[in-house]
A and B are shown apart, each in its own frame.
Chain A
Amino acid sequence: MSFPERGLIGIRALRREDIELILRTARSMKDISKRDVKKVPALRGKTVANLFFEPSTRTRTSFELAAKRLSADVVNFSPSGSSMAKGELMLDTVKNILAMNVDALVIRAKPEGACEFISQHVDVPVINAGDGMHEHPTQALLDALTMEEQFGTLDGLKVLIVGDILHSRVARSNIYLLKNFDIEIRVCGPPTLIPRGIESMGVKVFYHLQEALEGVNVIMMLRIQMERMQGGHFPSIHEYSKFWGLTAEILDRHAPPDAVVMHPGPLNRGVEITPDVADGARSVILYQVENGVAVRMAVLYLVVGGGR
């Protein structure tokens, strides 16, 4: 499974030079979205299929815009109103789409490893747009691009990820990515939501947010998924936000003044992050969204462009 010929299944398989190439390409792509004519002909005549077996509006829109700005044609497929509802297998759906001569697949699916599995059964590149609790590679790349823009370089940073580390594909992909650089990675959350043995990945574990914030450059707040409450991972939303929610007061008191706040979205305002922080001067959340299009353009260009 090598990047870019077979697509982008996860960050784990990438080398530092792959990541740097994607980030450099993304920086160049970013300018295109700021012009009057937001389109270049690089992928003219190519067709990209967005297959979202799990609902997503923002990631799908971001991928769609990215493909369109490179002049690719895009088809969107989501299970509602399709034959998936009639019990068609995921791989059958994929093969039907491919029979229409599609050049690349962007896939989001619930089962971990779905993208890897599909990529072994098709001969077009597959880009993972999030598979269960496994990976969300383009999110980690857009996060890295945002950090690099804020601080000029990734090496030397201290990055804190707060929340449900256990179930988060965003956290996983970010850790895989940041490990390629000279970065201190910290995670913080309720003990029930920190994977056991995560220290062996070179990650520092904190259970108290105030302590974890000391000296960091980047604070990445993860979305708390309400359904986890049923799993007994934490007693109540109220208690979660009391201990691990980021408020302006905690931020100002415990984090360095130049630390920035990130969030992959969608926000649970008032749960993991208060509105004054999400909309505050240190929030780079909307830059993340902007960089998402640039990173996806870069990945599509590298994966779909070029001959094979």
Chain B
Amino acid sequence: MPEKIIIQRAEFENTLRRMAYELVEKCGGLENVVLVGVHRGGVWLAYRIATIIQAERGHELPRGELDINLYRDDLSRIGYHPEIRRTEVPVPIDNAFVVLVDDVIYTGRTARAALDALMDLGRPQKVLLCVMVDRGGRELPIQPDIYGVKVPVDSTGLIEVRFREIHGEDAVVVRPRS
């Protein structure tokens, strides 16, 4: 299976735009809303969504970042040590409307870990899950509230979400796991 492009460029941007609108709608406005991106794809996605909202609504959403590795359920099984990046949320999340942002949802285990990490930082009033790609294959009862595209991919495939700021292009790509 060669690399296959699911969406790119204008379609990618339009998808982000739709997600941003949906986010504003589901949060009932922008008051009290905090975007928290999961390292690393989620951090970039949160940045892009915040940029669109800033341009459209003139409102700068506070953005935080979350490293979930210390909350993984397989830490004692995997044979390596995932590097721990910063967890930093610039505003208190107590009673806030937190939108948890990640690039891809698969088993749901990352989202579970992210929820636990979030709860250790405070007690949000509500948490929404927003992802660019839902690739199916859930192992936990966790579903995204907002998603960009649904692309069923089995365990032999890999989804890559590329951002122009980092990878030089905007694209969602499926390729074989190497």
User: Which A residues fall within an 8 A CB radius of B?
Assistant: 4, 21, 24-25, 27-29, 31-32, 35-37, 39-42, 45-46, 70, 298, 301-302, 305-308
Contacts and interface: CB of A to CB of B under 8 A. Distances in A.
24 contacts: A21-B83, A24-B84, A25-B83, A27-B86, A28-B84, A28-B85, A28-B86, A29-B84, A31-B87, A35-B121, A36-B122, A37-B121, A39-B120, A40-B71, A40-B117, A41-B71, A42-B69, A45-B76, A301-B81, A301-B84, A305-B75, A305-B76, A306-B78, A307-B76
Contacts of A70: 70
Contacts of A306: 75-76, 78-81
B81 to A, nearest CB: 4
Contacts of B117: 40
A290 B83 CA distance: 21
Contacts of A45: 76
B89 to A, nearest CB: 10
Q: Which of B71, B80, B84, B121 counts the most A-chain CB atoms under 10 A from its CB? A: B84
B134 interface: no
A46 B70 CA distance: 14
Given A24-B84, A29-B84, A37-B120, 7 more contacts: A31-B86, A31-B88, A40-B120, A305-B81, A306-B75, A306-B80, A307-B78
Contacts of B83: 21, 24-25
Contacts of B80: 306
A302 to B, nearest CB: 5
Contact of A41 (B78, B116, B121): B116
Nearest to A103: B76
Contacts of A4: 81
A42 B86 contact: no
Interface of A is mostly: loop
Interface string B53-88: 000000000000001011100011111110111111
Contacts, number: 56
A4 B80 CA distance: 10
A31 B67 CA distance: 12
Interface residues of B, number: 22
Nearest to B80: A306
Interface string B74-118: 011111110111111000000000000000000000000000110
B78 A40 contact: no
Contacts of B77: 307
Nearest to B77: A307
Centre residue among B71, B80, B81, B85 by max chain A CB count within 10 A: B81
Nearest to A21: B83
Contacts of B86: 27-28, 31
Contacts of A27: 86
A284 to B, nearest CB: 22
Contacts of A40: 70-71, 117, 120
Closest 4 CB pairs of A and B: A40-B70, A42-B70, A28-B84, A37-B120
Contacts of B121: 35, 37
A28 B87 contact: yes
A265 B86 CA distance: 29
B82 to A, nearest CB: 8
Contacts of A36: 122
A42 B75 contact: yes
Contacts of A39: 120
A177 B76 CA distance: 29
B119 to A, nearest CB: 8
A110 to B, nearest CB: 32
A24 B121 CA distance: 21
Contacts of A41: 70-71, 116
Specify which of A28, A32, A39, A301 lies most central, judged by the most chain B CB atoms within 10 Å of its CB.
A28
A40 B67 CA distance: 11
